[in-house]
Structure 1
Amino acid sequence: MRVRPETQTETTQSTQLPDIPDGRGRNLYRLDPDLPKLLSLYLSPEAMAHFTPHFDRLGQVAGERLDDLAFLADQHTPTLSTRTRQGLDRDEIYKHPAYVELERWAFSEFGMAAASHRAGVLGWPEALPTHAKYTLFYLFTQTEFGLTCPVNMTDSLTRTLRKYATPELIDKYLPALTSLDFDVLFQGAMFMTEQAMGSDIAGTETRAVEEDGQWKLYGDKWFCSNPDADLAMVLARPDGAPAGMAGVSLFLLPRIKDDGHPNHYRILRLKEKLGTRSMPSGEIRFEGAHAYLIGEIGRGFQQMAEMVNSSRLSNGIRSAALMRRAYTEACYVADNRHAFGQRLKDLPLMRRQLDKLELATEQARSFGFQTAQALQDADQVGGDAKKLVRILTPLIKFRACRDARKVAGDAMEVRGGCGYIEEWIEARLVRESHLGSVWEGTSNIVALDVLRAIRRNDALSAYIAHFDALLAHAETALPDQQDILKKLRHSLEQVEIMATQITDADDQILARELASLMYYVGCAITFAWEASHSGMAHRMTLCLRTYRHSIRHREMDLQDALEDTANH
């Protein structure tokens, strides 16, 4: 037990252990000087002036109160009660008060789930600009990763409901989904996964039966996050529908029926998870649960794709946020700890390690902001922007979520043994970092989806056109950087050629290599575009490092692999 400083004696002081750098309480927004500069590229001056105080407030709360709550919520996981004390079957999930307070901050105080769907969030007279909303996610996730899943699912469910549901259903549920009153607002979820089929949605076995004009669901869903949500989107196969993807339909499932009684489904158990422990995930059995058909029969996956796209972007942004927190902590330790007579930061290998952490962190954020812009343009304009968002979302989901695992692990090393202890945030960041690569499709599934977007949705042309335009702007604005910009021009051309060559099943083995190359070429070009704006010259350094460490060797390796495939 440490003696309080005011009671220390001269003898005890000499035996004290040295303080370990502890950066708790710092403002996570102010610690990130590039964030306001980047936001100024996407938000109007009026929006920047309005939202900056809110970002600053969230940054401070995240570094203090929310950080403490997130630690408690991670330690005190949800529990499930399946019966009342009177013996009635009634599923209730108990969530620790710390998690409930986190919910209040996210859903009510900052309106993160409602931000895209109503006016008045944070005093803004219309729906929040896309980048303002995702900045809230970015800052909040740096302290609490698990809760941002229900927040995003609520946002995504509302988006899907507004696009495909009947006017009657929209009028019935939209007010609660977009409410800022914590005591009346609804949370959302999506129940897709079944134990036998995993990511193979075409294998969905959950049945939908129409009885007396009412749809009822039967079957099991194996991994359902936020299982006690007020509303959930569910994939099921109507009786008589064809096998395969063509028979899968989308349904809206209320937790409570119109008569005030619980709907007919059970939460069988909660999952014991590696990460996102604060947020419950469970297994659900439908026993004739009342549900509403959303859109057309047999179009379920296409409609659910609205939620999947949004969730994949959210996964990318949240992975970027997780990397940012890991990098921020690593920098603080390196600045404030001494070893071998020097600050860690001054040791050459440590500087190199921090540079690597920074690069992956900034790549994910810049690519995420570009994807968010594409999603906003797709909603407002459509056309090629829809094709662009179709390919950018799997790209960021694939690469940023994988990079987060390495960044979190390497940042733990910077703190050393203490980083392995659950009292510090690094251990939790490592655990949380693995979820992104599993959620909304594993790496193989998502890499193949990149190929699918190229082949079926003409998304490659939108990708090339978009990054060609950013590169052209940089070429005009940065005359002293023509050497690297010419190399990026060549890399972009090579992406187009090689992506076109990967056309049959034998080439699927190259999907991951192609997806990585496309992601990093997009990151490097985005860095150059950012550097062409005032006050962001450092982004050109990130551009050069991305080319040297992430593009050059991948480009050559993929070319060699394509030649080998052609020869065999």
Structure 2
Amino acid sequence: MNFYTADPALARLIERNASAEDRALLTPLLERLGADTAQRIDPLAELADKNPPTLRPYDKDGERTNEVVYHPAYAEMGDILFGEYGMSAMSHRGMHGWAAKVPHLPKYLITYLYVQAEFGMACPISMTDTAARTLRMYGGDDPEIAEAVRRLISTDDDRFTGAMFMTELQAGTDIAKTEAVAEREGTGWRLHGRKWFASNAGADITLVLARFPGGDADTTRGVGLFMMPRRKPDGTLNDYRIERLKDKLGTRSMASGEIRLEGAYAVQVGELERGFRQMTEMVNMSRLSNAVRAVSLMRRGLYEATEHAQRRVVFGRPLIDQPLMRLDLLRLSADVESGLGFVVYCAQQLERADAGDDTASSLVRILTPLAKHYLCKRARVATGEAMEIRGGNGYIEVFVQPRLVRDAHLGSIWEGASNVIALDVLRSMRKIGAHKILFDDLRVRLDALADASLSEQRDALAARVNAISERAERVLSAATDDAEILMSSLADDMATAIMGVLLAEQAQYEIDQYDDHRVALVADAFRQLVLDRDENFAPKGISYVPQIVTGAAVDRAAVDLTN
């Protein structure tokens, strides 16, 4: 079993979107990771999920330890993902044949692959990666921060993991209500207060938000960013307590806890008044990672549903030959392939933004919340559909489906619930007109669709983009409360329009290169089932579901998409 070679869409997306140099390095890496994910990591993930971490607050002599005790399977996964593959380090250093950092597109595709087996560890991997990024951007020349970064991006036995402690009982979405405080002590700081939801609670390095003396008491400009190590410079345990671990619905392999800061030693990061703005660098990167993970969970669900439908015989026919089952698999395929195309698009724009492209920076500003808003919510439905396909067994914890469903529900909450994310889209529209840049980009892409078999889709997508563009302007001109009410549905419609265009674009590529209409059928199904919600006609792809889910080619003579 290999999750890379089993994926019908991934190889050609890479072929079209990655440079020849990146493909030469990425393809063998994904082939190896696809096998390891299925054969090594997946069994460990099942064990770790069934045996969640426990808290050992004190040792046998009564000394405080703040130790999170993990099952050996979790530790072994850490050695594979942090160590062998350097998942949290690849954004910062040369690895796997890349002389400098691994580009965003390969990194997110690697994430997409391994999360098909293990979602819980994706949190500490992402936070370690983004903590290093934030500290490198704002940490200046502080030697203690430099050493922390070195160990956060290490793949050796001295490696650190990272976390961020931001949420408080009264200050989740509303960071201005942060009550944790920082007090100066010489050249350093001491932190006091309570953090309510701290994932990767036993991290070695944590970025913490706290109020500082003299700061604005009513806004986020009074909240500074601080680096809090697990151990102080003298090697002793830092002055905070993990009070208890959360008993969570999903991501059970990873420890989330409640933290009491009791004068914890910390180092200032960047400018005090810009603490929250600096932390948003970490939050925004985590939001995009959430979208990638959502697609990954949907892909694993589709893989399991396909395997079951191919084997299971009902009333003398394999399930995959039953029309309604084909419709279910076709919709799941459209979800996964459109979502994968979306995160590839985001990764490309992020790479260009990091290189100084202002247009790409504006696109990233709106694409990141759009991807999280739609894909994380859709993953809850898609993994549930995949569970239902297996029937009663899909509800039993010996199979992977319950874990996929439990984990999928976190994405819409983590790093901002859906309403918060929808309002972030609205801010990007108001402040920088990001929606106009997005719609212009989509129109350029639609204009390049030349194959006759895609003309119906191109025209329908162009009309949809124009209609959503007009809606966006009406929302911007509406009263504040009305605009906010309208944003949830607008954000979803913007996201699905993007996905429809990208699917059609990939279909054009595969027609041009291979005369293969498989993705054209997926794009047509996405337009009919998701965009148009047309229930009067069965999608044309129904007859070709076995080819769609396995990646077999569909030639032009076999299907006429012009009627």
Task: Give the TM-score taking structure 1 as reference length.
Answer: 0.90
Q: Give 1:64-103 correspondences, 5 Å limit.
A: 64-103=39-78
Cα distance between partner residues in 2 of 1:540 and 1:303: 42
Partner of 2:158: 184
What is the one-letter code of the residue matched to 1:366?
G
What is the one-letter code of the residue matched to 2:528?
R
Cα distance between partner residues in 1 of 2:338 and 2:209: 34
More moved, 161-170 vs 339-348 = 161-170
Cα distance between partner residues in 1 of 2:130 and 2:440: 28
Deviation at 1:553, TM superposition (A): 5.7
Q: Does 1:354 align with 2:329?
A: yes
Q: Does 1:520 align with 2:496?
A: yes
Q: Does 1:428 align with 2:403?
A: yes
5+ unaligned residues in a row in structure 2: which ranges?
535-563
Of 509, 513, 518, 2:485 maps to: 509
Deviation at 1:228, TM superposition (A): 1.1
- Tell me the matched-pair count: 525
Cα distance between partner residues in 2 of 1:159 and 1:213: 24
Cα distance between partner residues in 2 of 1:355 and 1:211: 61
Corresponding residue SS for 1:229: coil
Q: Does 1:486 align with 2:462?
A: no
Deviation at 1:437, TM superposition (A): 0.7
Partner of 1:309: 284
Partner of 1:18: none
Q: Does 1:116 align with 2:61?
A: no
Partner of 2:540: none
Deviation at 1:414, TM superposition (A): 1.0
Of 343, 347, 351, 2:318 maps to: 343
Deviation at 1:480, TM superposition (A): 4.1
Deviation at 1:479, TM superposition (A): 4.1
Deviation above 3 Å: which 4+ runs of structure 1?
Answer: none
Q: Does 1:319 align with 2:294?
A: yes
For the 8 Å contact 2:334–2:523, the answer to whether it is kept is no
Cα distance between partner residues in 2 of 1:440 and 1:392: 15
What is the one-letter code of the residue matched to 1:224?
A
Partner of 2:545: none
Partner of 1:447: 422
Of 488, 504, 519, 1:539 maps to: 519
Corresponding residue SS for 2:195: strand
Cα distance between partner residues in 2 of 1:310 and 1:163: 13
More moved, 272-281 vs 501-510 = 501-510
For the 8 Å contact 2:223–2:273, the answer to whether it is kept is yes
CA deviation vs aligned residue, 1:56-100 (integer Å, no higher than 9, x gap): 111111111211100100011101011111111221110111000
CA deviation vs aligned residue, 1:308-342 (integer Å, no higher than 9, x gap): 11111100101100000000000000001101111
What is the one-letter code of the residue matched to 1:277?
R
Cα distance between partner residues in 2 of 1:309 and 1:540: 33
Cα distance between partner residues in 2 of 1:544 and 1:294: 50
CA deviation vs aligned residue, 1:214-239 (integer Å, no higher than 9, x gap): 21111111000001111111111112
CA deviation vs aligned residue, 1:124-165 (integer Å, no higher than 9, x gap): 222112221112111110000000110011111111111111
Higher RCO (Cα < 8 Å, 6 or more apart): 2
Q: Does 1:401 align with 2:381?
A: no
Of 380, 385, 392, 2:367 maps to: 392
Cα distance between partner residues in 2 of 1:235 and 1:442: 19
For the 8 Å contact 2:47–2:73, the answer to whether it is kept is yes
For the 8 Å contact 1:385–1:462, the answer to whether it is kept is no
Task: Give the TM-score taking structure 2 as reference length.
Answer: 0.91
CA deviation vs aligned residue, 1:411-447 (integer Å, no higher than 9, x gap): 1111111111111101111111100011011111111
Note the aligned Cα RMSD (angstroms).
1.5
Partner of 1:131: 105
CA deviation vs aligned residue, 1:221-261 (integer Å, no higher than 9, x gap): 10000011111111111122111222122111111111111
Q: Percent identity?
A: 43
Q: Give 1:144-293 correspondences, 5 Å limit.
A: 144-169=118-143, 170-181=145-156, 183-242=157-216, 243-293=218-268
5+ unaligned residues in a row in structure 1: which ranges?
1-25, 555-568
More moved, 493-502 vs 109-118 = 493-502
Deviation at 1:481, TM superposition (A): 2.3
Corresponding residue SS for 2:182: strand
Cα distance between partner residues in 1 of 2:276 and 2:504: 37
Corresponding residue SS for 1:29: coil
What is the one-letter code of the residue matched to 2:455?
Q
Deviation at 1:382, TM superposition (A): 3.3
For the 8 Å contact 1:43–1:129, the answer to whether it is kept is no
Q: CA 1:332–1:553 in 2, change beyond 3 Å: closer, same or farther?
A: closer
For the 8 Å contact 2:9–2:337, the answer to whether it is kept is no
Deviation at 1:543, TM superposition (A): 2.5
Cα distance between partner residues in 2 of 1:100 and 1:458: 46
Partner of 1:457: 432
What is the one-letter code of the residue matched to 1:341?
G
For the 8 Å contact 2:242–2:259, the answer to whether it is kept is yes
